[in-house]
Copies of this chain bind each other. A is one copy, B any other.
Amino acid sequence: MNAVAQGHERVITLADAIREGITESFAKDDSTFLFAQGVSDPSSMWGTLKGIGNKFGEDRVIEMPIAENGAVGIAIGAAIAGQRPIISFHRVEFALLAFEQIVNNAAKSSYISNGQHKVPLVIRMVIGRGWGQGPEHSQSLEPLFAYFPGLKVVMPAFAADAKGMLIAAIEDDNPVIFIEHRFLHYSTGHVPEGYYKNALDGPRIVREGKDVTIVATSHGVLEAMRAADVLHKIGCSAEVIDMRVLRPLNVAPIVASVSKTGRLITVDTGFVRFGLGAEIVASVMTEVFDALKAAPVRLGLPDHPTPSSRGLIPGFYPDSQRIVREAGKILALDQVKVDSALKELDIQRKDLQIDQPDPFFKGPF
């Protein structure tokens, strides 16, 4: 899986891209430090922290006891005092224990202090699915954080963006919730070498189209891209928007896209109800009331927790096939063509099982 160095053409995993982002930031600014559980353990958070302790010295990596609320409060205090801590949570669920610190002291210190305090803190959290993790190890909870002004909430989908946005998040003087989908760690892409920043400034059109706008986040963007590919072959041109940043929320590019396409599909990694899709649809409706030519479609998780068994999850996650089917409906595409597109997605997936991001993936995490 490792980088095949070919200059700017080199392809690495998103996990390695994150490791590079941290490494570059560490080299540039020694007020940065890592604060995580198992910060120097061999698994090193799925490789994203590998070797950083050895390279920069142990006092740049601080082992975090199993005490998330205290840990985030400590990181906030260190940030207010001028350091730049980077916290990593192996699962978003662990961050729930620190929710009070995150939404009060992290999100509001700048505001309450009338601008006298800054909280340059990055909190990485892993969301998503995988290998029967079950109801308490695979939730996607980004709307909980996006609800709070004062936080920045980012969700990269591509390796290069993950590195650039992480570096930007570390340089940012605000608390940044940096959300990684577990399946994305295995995804690969071209990633530039060295220190570079990708602005935390909102959505990007990652594929242009004119018939339908698909707005997605994180791993959902990859599903949307797959869907767009096969839709293209049946003559449907989908525009795919990678949200990237949920807070502060910039809906302008989406409004512009929908004004062009007249059709909207949103893809949440979390629940449909009270999810990002709700905010997107509502924002579009209030800003361009008559742009839509058909009812918007919100995809995401149904109203129940994530079961562990692979027997219970077929149909649970919104995937490229769901997107193609919904696009077929709102664009009234010829069913024969839609079926051929679905067929092609089947073929692409081969015998990869529903709980595997990748053929080599065999658990146990």
- Which residues of A does B touch, CB under 8 Å? 69, 93, 96-97, 99-100, 103-104, 107-108, 111-112, 134-136, 141, 143-144, 146-147, 149-150, 247-249, 270-271, 273-279, 281-283, 285-287, 289, 292, 294-298, 303-305
Give every chain B residue within 8 A of A271 (Cβ-Cβ).
Answer: 147, 149
Give every chain B residue within 8 A of A111 (Cβ-Cβ).
Answer: 135, 304-305
Distance in Å: Cβ of A210 to nearest Cβ of chain B: 21
- CB nearest neighbor in B for A246: B274
B143 A305 Cβ-Cβ under 8 A: no
Distance in Å: Cβ of A56 to nearest Cβ of chain B: 32
Contacts A/B (CB < 8 Å), 17 sampled: A93-B100, A97-B100, A108-B135, A112-B135, A112-B136, A112-B305, A141-B147, A143-B274, A146-B273, A147-B270, A149-B304, A278-B278, A279-B282, A281-B282, A282-B298, A285-B295, A286-B297
Quickly give the copy total for this chain. Answer: 2
- CB nearest neighbor in B for A276: B274
Given contacts A282-B296, A286-B297, whether A147 and B274 have CB atoms under 8 Å apart is yes
Distance in Å: Cβ of A204 to nearest Cβ of chain B: 20
A281 B274 Cβ-Cβ under 8 A: no
- CB nearest neighbor in B for A149: B303
Given contacts A146-B274, A285-B285, A286-B296, whether A248 and B279 have CB atoms under 8 Å apart is no
Q: Which of B147, B275, B286, B303 contacts A295 (CB 8 A)?
A: B286
Given contacts A292-B289, A295-B289, A296-B282, whether A147 and B273 have CB atoms under 8 Å apart is yes
Q: How far is the CA of A294 from the CA of B288 in the complex (A)?
A: 10
Distance in Å: Cβ of A300 to nearest Cβ of chain B: 11
- CB nearest neighbor in B for A248: B303
Distance in Å: Cβ of A348 to nearest Cβ of chain B: 29
